């Protein structure tokens, strides 16, 4: 064999020679504590209801939700984010079921806290979209537009009710201007300085939310582009980030995760608070559908997608595979 000088003089492949070598030099690792499980609880059902566009995910009953929370604790994940699905007859223009102490979300918060105590962070989605008959994240004005400041009043009440029901963390996801400051003030006014705020800081108006709409029984009319962010924009996210931190956010989120890894990396580089990413329903559904067709290796694709999100800068990841992956890692 002919040799040409001393090349290759450097051989990076030496660090890829075996599984144990690759494991030792890995720059990014997944751990069960990295994960938060999003979970849906539906009012008035006797059995869990499968979500057709999200194979393996269900709308829980109160009892099955408690079981899922206990499994999450056993798997070692950090939190569970609850979404309430009320009966259709209880939806109205103001989303009053969302602030009813006996509404499905508040009942579920109390159930889960009673089941797991402080062994799992119990988080609550703080938004009106599941509870409004028009499906928007806020109340509407007389011209059918989302009224930012009137919605903030509803969010303040919602935060207090969720804190009273046992939420360790509230997750304002409506993308209203000023929502973090109003919610922080509302919590502090009732002596709940201990309740943390996970701000949905960069939440984009994404096509990947489709399966989630089924999961929460959405009544959405139109779209949410007047308040969720334009997928074309990055600097806008940095402005939202600055505002959320000024208003008192304890943690910040980028949503969706996979299509916005550049945003996630930019946010993670800019802050010294925990950064969270939400691997949303469409991301989940694409992998499950491709795996069902035999086009990809399901388990490897799941781990690769989560590793990419973690590598981009997410300290924690909301994923519907949270418990499954944590059990595998353990």
| Residues of each annotated binding site | 213, 224, 240, 281, 320
Q: Which residues are annotated as part of the binding site for Mg(2+)?
A: 240
Which two structure tokens, joined as six digits, stand for 206? 């994404």
DSSP 36-57: EEEEEEETT-SS-EE-TTSTT-
Of these residues, 66, 91, 203, 266, which one is catalytic?
A: 203
Cα distances (angstroms) measured from residue 186 to each of 123, 156, 182, 195: 17, 5, 6, 11
DSSP class of residue 230 equals P
Nearest to 16 by CA among 30, 8, 27, 5: 27
Question: CB atoms < 10 A from the CB of 117, how many?
Answer: 11
Of these residues, 66, 90, 91, 255, which one is catalytic?
A: 255
For residue 59, list its beta bridge partners: 40, 49
Question: 3-state SS of the chain: helix, strand, coil percent to 5?
Answer: 45, 15, 40
**Could you give the CA distance from residue 69 to residue 122 in angstroms, rounded to a whole number?**
9
Question: CB atoms < 10 A from the CB of 80, how many?
Answer: 27
Which two structure tokens, joined as six digits, stand for 292? 């069902």
**Could you give the CA distance from residue 126 to residue 10 in angstroms, rounded to a whole number?**
53
Q: Which residues are annotated as part of the binding site for 5-aminolevulinate?
A: 213, 224, 281, 320
Contacts of 193 (CB under 8 A, 6+ apart): 187
300 as an active site residue: the answer is no
91 as an active site residue: the answer is no
φ/ψ of residue 225, rounded to 5? -75, -10
Report the Cα–Cα distance between both ends of the chain, in Å, rounded: 48
Q: Is the dihedral of CA 53, 54, 56, 62 positive or negative?
A: negative
Question: Which residues in 64-144 belong to E strands, given as ranges?
Answer: 79-85, 121-126
- Across 219-235, b (16+ Cβ under 10 Å) vs e yields beeeebeebbbebeeee
User: Active-site residue numbers?
Assistant: 203, 255
């Amino acid at each position: 064999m002919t040799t040409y000088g001393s090349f290759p003089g450097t051989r990076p492949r030496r660090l890829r020679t075996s599984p144990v070598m690759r494991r030792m030099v890995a720059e990014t690792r997944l751990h069960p504590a990295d994960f938060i499980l999003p979970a849906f609880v539906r009012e008035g059902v006797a059995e869990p209801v499968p979500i057709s566009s999200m194979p393996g995910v269900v709308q829980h009953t109160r009892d099955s939700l408690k079981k899922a929370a206990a499994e999450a604790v056993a798997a070692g994940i950090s939190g569970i984010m609850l979404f309430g699905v009320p009966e259709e007859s209880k939806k109205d223009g103001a989303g009053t079921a969302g602030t009813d102490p006996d509404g499905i979300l508040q009942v579920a918060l109390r159930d889960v806290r009673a089941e797991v105590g402080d062994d799992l962070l119990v988080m609550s989605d703080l938004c009106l979209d599941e509870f409004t008959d028009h499906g928007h994240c806020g109340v509407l004005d007389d011209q059918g537009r989302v009224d930012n400041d009137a919605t903030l009043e509803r969010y303040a009440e919602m935060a207090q009710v969720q804190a009273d029901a046992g939420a360790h963390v509230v997750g304002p996801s409506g993308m209203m201007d000023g929502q973090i400051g109003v919610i922080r003030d509302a919590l502090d006014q009732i002596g709940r300085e201990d309740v943390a705020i996970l701000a949905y800081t960069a939440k984009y108006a994404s096509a990947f939310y489709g399966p989630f709409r089924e999961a929460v029984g959405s009544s959405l009319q139109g779209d949410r582009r007047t308040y969720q962010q334009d997928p074309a924009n990055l600097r806008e996210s940095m402005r939202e980030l600055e505002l959320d931190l000024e208003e008192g956010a304890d943690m910040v989120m980028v949503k969706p995760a996979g299509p916005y890894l550049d945003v996630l990396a930019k946010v993670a580089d800019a802050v010294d608070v925990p950064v969270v990413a939400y691997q949303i329903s469409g991301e989940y559904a694409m992998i499950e559908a491709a795996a069902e067709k035999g086009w990809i290796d399901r388990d490897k694709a799941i781990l690769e997608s989560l590793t990419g999100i973690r590598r981009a800068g997410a300290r924690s990841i909301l994923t519907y595979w949270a418990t499954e992956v944590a059990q595998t890692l353990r």
